[in-house]
Structure 1
Amino acid sequence: MVDMRPMLATHTDSVPTGDAWAHEVKWDGWRVIAEVRGGAVRLFSRSERDVTSSFPELQGLVLPDLVLDGEIVALDEAGIPSLHALADRISGPAKTQRPGRAAPRPVTVMLFDVLALDGHEVIDQPWHRRRELLDALAPSLEHDKWLVPEVYADGRMLLDVTRERGLEGVVSKRRSSPYRPGQRSPHWLKRPHRRTRSVVVGGWRPETGSRDRLGAVLVGTPGPDGRLRLLGRVGSGLAGRAGDELLAHLRDLACPDRPFDDVPRIDAELATWVRPEVVIDVESLGLAGQGRLRQPSYRGLRPDLVPADTLATDIPEEDSDA
């Protein structure tokens, strides 16, 4: 049976050069493993959760039985992925699915690897061979729903282009690398333009002058005992609809006890504690003193992840102030 955990990339500050490496666009979406059997597609999130029912438009692939690795993205008119547009596709609370709400934006799966073909695993084959298999499948895909993006030889050029276009960054892959499910590999390197990490919400504070609008969330990562280590307060990026939708996910999780090891009084004041179940992505300038996020900004919900997945970050705990 194929291991459905995706292989993960390691953060790098510089894009590698040389013929040993190939380079791809880093897409801003949700990672999935797609299992195709008899035209039926099953989708599994990074936490191995079956999310097939959330994406009915991705059914009906006329392909041999195989297992694929890719990223689900919701593209805007300019072809730029929007993480916010994916927010309600997996287990959105009933109150966010209100009448009159706009239909979910169509999604596309950006495919970048093959794990199995015709019942045979290919994860021990080098990346360049698995890529040849993927390229051979590309003509059979529905190109508005399933795409095989290009691979580039010049990673530094791609880094400049993705920055100019507002894309997330670059992933560099050693051409000889096997696929190792569930492992963070030094043979896949990611160079994002912004530092992003997934964190768990443990509480929220109201907007100044209002008890019913979200002003900020308190976030952290779980320790061995399940309690959260505080990473700070996130308020930027929560204005308007983004804050309303996040608060809809948090209201029913209210609890009397704070889930953090320790919270300064200035942060705890007026806070409503919640069960540590909701995962979000935040953007920041790394970690500052006392291990707090520097200038964090909310980017979107991550219902495809569970709290334990936030421990699998490769952002150093001691980031510089640069």
Structure 2
Amino acid sequence: MLFSPLKPMIVASGKEAFDDEGYVFEPKWDGWRILLHKQGTRLEAFTRNGHVVTSKFPELKAAISSIKADTCILDCEGVCMRDGRSVFDDFSYRGRISDSAKIKAALRTHPATFVVFDVLFTGSEHLKEPLMTRKNRLKEMVRSTDMITPTVYIEGRGRDLSSWSNEHDMEGIVAKRKDSKYVLGVVTNDWLKIKNFKTIDTIILGYRTEPQFGLVVGLHFKTVKYKPVGFVEVGISEDDKYAFQEIARQLQIRMEKQTFWVEPKLCCRIQYQERTDQHQLHTTIFKGFLFDKDPENCYWTY
């Protein structure tokens, strides 16, 4: 088990925050799932897909002394904090770079923190122990520093934590049954991620009428402009649809694969809940047209 690739327990999707004394609630950190394996002075970092990424994070050397157990496997989220919140793109950058000079510079520009939320092993397996037993082990095992820290959690009050995460522009919360066992590689309803909706202004790049009306929306990025990032169907009223199509007929460029592409002159505001590594936005809701918005100002907020 130690220093071998493991598939972590996978969080299922929940719909909305709730209160329940049978659960603990944690902030949902926006980074990479990392399993830390330690024995003595050796510490290795594995991604959820089993890749060893220890060399990309030299700060882990300083974290060794903060883990009191001689031997352990810890389940973490690797994050980079900016303005008090974790930023996925920053940690993803750390995970991509391999040049030693860039890694050294990133220690200053994109410092990483490993937020620990579970313990799987300390010389013997703890997978079948209830979550709260593992939490108590973790409390005694990890000393909080800038490089590594146990996650905070509250018992029973999911709605309060959800409100707090919204106020701090975080990704959401995770609800976990107090008696849940740790099952490797399995999606389980014992752990539920409840994500916050986020709002962003986008450029309308095109639209489809079949099988259902929807808008193709895009954003500007540092290295590319007018990149399609999602398709929005929900929330568009018949009046919105009619008004848009009247304007879109004058802006249409071409039709391709059931999509009418238009000149990028119109903007709209959307909400989204999910985002892929390639910045594709899922669970999207149309909130309204922005006729006075300059499309040049619709960019991804890193």
| Pick aligned residue for 2:218 from 216, 229, 235 | 235
CA distance in 1, matches of 2:60, 2:107: 20
Distance (whole Å) between structure 2 residues aligned to residue 149 and residue 102 of structure 1 = 22
The higher radius of gyration belongs to 2
**Distance in 1 separating the partners of 2:301 and 2:161:** 23
1:155 alignment partner in structure 2: 158
What do you get for the CA RMSD once the two structures are aligned?
3.7
Aligned to 1:271: none
Following superposition, the deviation at residue 181 of structure 1 comes to 1.1
Matches within 5 A, 1:189-204: 189-194=192-197
Q: Does 1:46 align with 2:44?
A: no
- Assess if the C-alpha contact under 8 Å between 1:84 and 1:299 holds in 2: no
Provide TM-score, normalisation by structure 1. 0.61
From 86, 93, 97, the counterpart of 1:92: 97
Q: TM-score, normalised by structure 2?
A: 0.65
TM-superposed deviation, 1:14: 2.1
Partner residue of 1:79? 84
CA drift at 1:279: 4.6
From 156, 165, 169, the counterpart of 1:166: 169
Distance 1:48 1:101, change over 3 A: closer
SS in 2 for 1:135: helix
- Whole-Å Cα distance in 1 between the matches of residues 186 and 220 of structure 2? 32
Q: Contact (CA 8 Å) 1:24, 1:171: kept in 2 or not? A: yes
Could you say if the C-alpha distance between residues 93 and 124 of structure 1 is closer, same or farther in structure 2, counting changes exceeding 3 Å?
closer
Q: The residue matched to 1:87 in structure 2 has which SS?
A: helix
Match of 1:146 in 2: 148
- The residue matched to 1:108 in structure 2 has which SS? strand
Change (3 A) 1:286 1:155: same
- Shift of the alpha carbon at 1:185? 0.6
CA distance in 2, matches of 1:81, 1:158: 16
Q: Aligned in 2, Cα 1:41/1:93: closer, same or farther, shift over 3 Å? A: closer
SS at match of 1:147: strand
Please state whether the residue corresponding to 1:84 is helix, strand or coil.
helix
Q: Is the 8 A contact 2:59 2:107 kept in 1?
A: no
Distance 1:97 1:144, change over 3 A: closer
2:63 pairs with 1:65: no
Percent identity of paired positions between Structure 1 and Structure 2: 25
Quickly say closer, same or farther: Cα 1:281–1:183, change in 2 above 3 A: farther
Q: Which runs of 4+ in 1 moved over 4 A?
A: 100-103, 262-267, 297-300
**Structure 2 residue aligned with 1:309:** none
Cα 1:243–1:147 change in 2 (3 A) is farther
| Structure-2 separation of matches of 1:79 and 1:186 | 29
Deviation per CA, 1:63-122: give whole Å up to 9, x if none.
Answer: 32100001011111x32111222232123387x969x999541111111000001x2110
**Unaligned residue ranges in structure 1 (runs of 5+):** 196-215, 217-231, 247-261, 268-277, 289-296, 301-322
Indicate if the aligned counterparts of 2:94 and 2:110 stay in contact, CA closer than 8 A: no
Cα distance in 1, alignment partners of residues 43 and 121 from structure 2: 14
- Cα shift at 1:134: 0.5
Alpha-carbon distance in structure 2 between the residues aligned to 1:10 and 1:22: 15
Counterpart pick for 2:141 among 123, 131, 137:
137
Shift of 1:6: 1.1
Match of 2:34 among 32, 35, 46: 32
Does 2:281 align with 1:283?
yes
Q: SS state of the match for residue 176, structure 1?
A: coil
- Partner of 1:185, secondary structure, is strand
Alignment partners' CA distance in 2, 1:298 and 1:35: 35
Aligned length: 229
Distance apart, 1:233 and its partner CA? 6.3
Structure 1 counterpart of 2:219, one-letter code = S
**Alpha carbons of 1:266 and 1:16: their partners in 2 closer, same or farther (altered >3 Å)?**
same
Deviates most, 3-12 or 30-39: 3-12
Per the alignment, residue 119 of structure 2 pairs with 114
